[in-house]
Amino acid sequence: MSALHDLSGLEQGALIAAGELSSVELTEHYLDRAERLDDVGAFVTLSADLAREQARRADAASPGATTRSPLHGVPTAIKDLNLTAGVRTTFGSAAYADFVPDVSDAVTEAIEAAAMPSIGKTSTPEFGSPCYTEPEGAMPAVTPWDRTRMAGGSSGGAAAAVAAGLVPLAQGSDGGGSIRIPASCCGLVGLKPSRGRISAYPSYGDPVGLATSGSLARTVRDAAALLDVLAGRRAGDPSWAPAPSGTFLAACDRPPEGLRVARFITPLIAGVRVDAACVEAYDDASRLLESLGHHIVDVPAPLSPDAVPVFETCWAVLTALSTAPPEREHLLRPLTRWLSARGHSVSGPEFGLAIGAIRRLASEALEALAPYDAVLTPTLAAPPLRVGDLRDDDDPAGDFERQKQFTPWTSAWNVTGMPAINLPLHWTSHGLPIGVMLAARPAEEELLLGLAAQVEQAAPWHDRRPPGWG
C-alpha cells in the first residue's frame, strides 16, 4: 500500500475532498517527515503550530464550494524570500536572521486563500542571487539523489523538500533560472510562468521584470494546479499576462499535435563545454518529441551575446537594491557585497539604458522564435555539482563566472518573459537527474503544460524515488 507521501498533491487533494483523509492528518504526516528526515537542507524555519491551525481551518471549510482548489488542504512550503506575516523570513541572509514581517506578499496570501497549510520556510541563498543554496548559518541544500551534491538555487530548499518527500509540492521563484536549476538538480518539474502571470505585491522589487514565482512538483499536473493557485493580478501590478481560457490544470488534458519545436544547444551567456550527459538528454528529448508527432527545427541561438553584459548590469543593480541596515552590512556574503558594489557603480541613466537594451534584445529573440510553438534546450551544462564547487568567498568574480558556465540557458527566458519548464527526463549512469527545458511564447502556459504533460505520459518519471525516501 502506498504511503501518503507517495501520492501526488492532486491525489492527496482528492482524498481530502472525498472525506477519506483530513488536512490535519496529512499536515502532521509532513511535519513529522520534515522534523525527522530533513538531511537535505530544505527548511530554515518550521511553522508547525501555524500549519496545524491552517489545516484545521481547511478541514472546517465547506466541501461543496465551487471555487475550492483541488489542492485544498494539501500541505506545502513557502520560500524564505517571500514575506510571511508572523513567520521568520530571513531572505537567506544573516543580516535578517531575526526578521519577522507583519505583512504577507501575494504568493503567501494566494497559498493561504487556497487553504494549503505551509509547514515552513524553505532555504534560499542570500537574496536569492546565486544558483546554489549555501546560506550562512544553515546547512547547504542538497539533492536527495546524492547528498554530497547541490540542490541548485535559488529555490534549492523548496526543490530539496519536494524531491525528498517532505512536502508534495512547493512554490519557488525565478529571476535567472532559480526554479528550473534546482528542478534539474533534484529531478523535478520546475515551472517558471510568463512575466506578469503572478503578482509581486507588495514589494515590486524588480523593475527589470526578470523575476517571478512558480511551481516545483513531481508531476506536471501538480505544477499546473499550483500555478492555478498562484496566478492572478493585483490592481497595482505593473504588468500582467492575459487570463487563460480555463484552468492550467485542464490544459494538461489537451495534448497538442504537430507542433514546430525549435531547438538549440549553443550556450548563451558563457563559453562552456556542455557535459555529454546533458547533450544526450537533449538529443533523447528531441527524439521523444518527434515520436509524439512534433517537428524539430534546429535554429541559431536567438539571444545575442550583447545581452550578457546588459543582463549582468541589471542583475548587479537588482542585488544592490537588496539592502541591509548599515549596522548589519558586514554580515552580507562576499558575493552579495561584490555584486552590490557593481550595482552601486551604475548611474541612474546607465541603468535606464540597460533596461531599454535588454528589452530590445528580448524583442529580437521573441521575433526570431515567433514561428515556433515551443523551444527546446538543455536546462544546465552539467549534472548537479558537488557542494562548494561554485561558491568562492575569496573570489566572488570567479564564483559568478562559474555560475554562468553552469547555467548558460535559463536566464534567456527571464529576459524574454517567456514561460519555461524543466522536465526530469534523464538520469546519469550514477543516478543523478538531468533535466531538459521547454519554453513557449509569452502567456502560452496552456500549450506548454499540454506539451509537458504529453511528454510525461510518454516517458513517466513520477515513480522514481531518491535514496532515503522511506
Q: How many residues does the chain have?
A: 470
* 118 a catalytic residue: no
- Of the listed 104, 118, 154, 411, which one is catalytic? 154
Q: Nearest CA to 26 among 46, 49, 56, 47?
A: 56
Distance CA 262, CA 368 (A): 10
* 178 a catalytic residue: yes
Concatenating the DSSP letter of every residue in 295-332 gives EEEE---SS-TTHHHHHHHHHHHHHHHS---GGGGGGS
- Structural contact between residues 163 and 466, judged by C-beta atoms closer than 8 angstroms: yes
Distance CA 331, CA 441 (A): 41
CA 223 to chain centre: 10
- Of the listed 178, 215, 286, 411, which one is catalytic? 178
User: Strand ranges (DSSP E) for 384-432?
Assistant: 420-427
Distance CA 332, CA 339 (A): 11
- Provide the phi-psi class of 73: left if phi over 0, else alpha when psi is between -120 and 50, else beta: left
- Structural contact between residues 172 and 79, judged by C-beta atoms closer than 8 angstroms: yes
Rg (CA), the chain: 20
- Of the listed 79, 121, 192, 404, which one is catalytic? 79
Q: Nearest CA to 333 among 399, 384, 408?
A: 399
| N- to C-terminal Cα separation, the chain | 13
Concatenating the DSSP letter of every residue in 324-366 gives --GGGGGGS-HHHHHHHHHHHTS-HHHHHHHHHHHHHHHHHHH
Distance CA 166, CA 264 (A): 35
Phi, psi values for residue 458, rounded to 5°: -75, -30
Cite the active site residues. Answer: 79, 154, 178
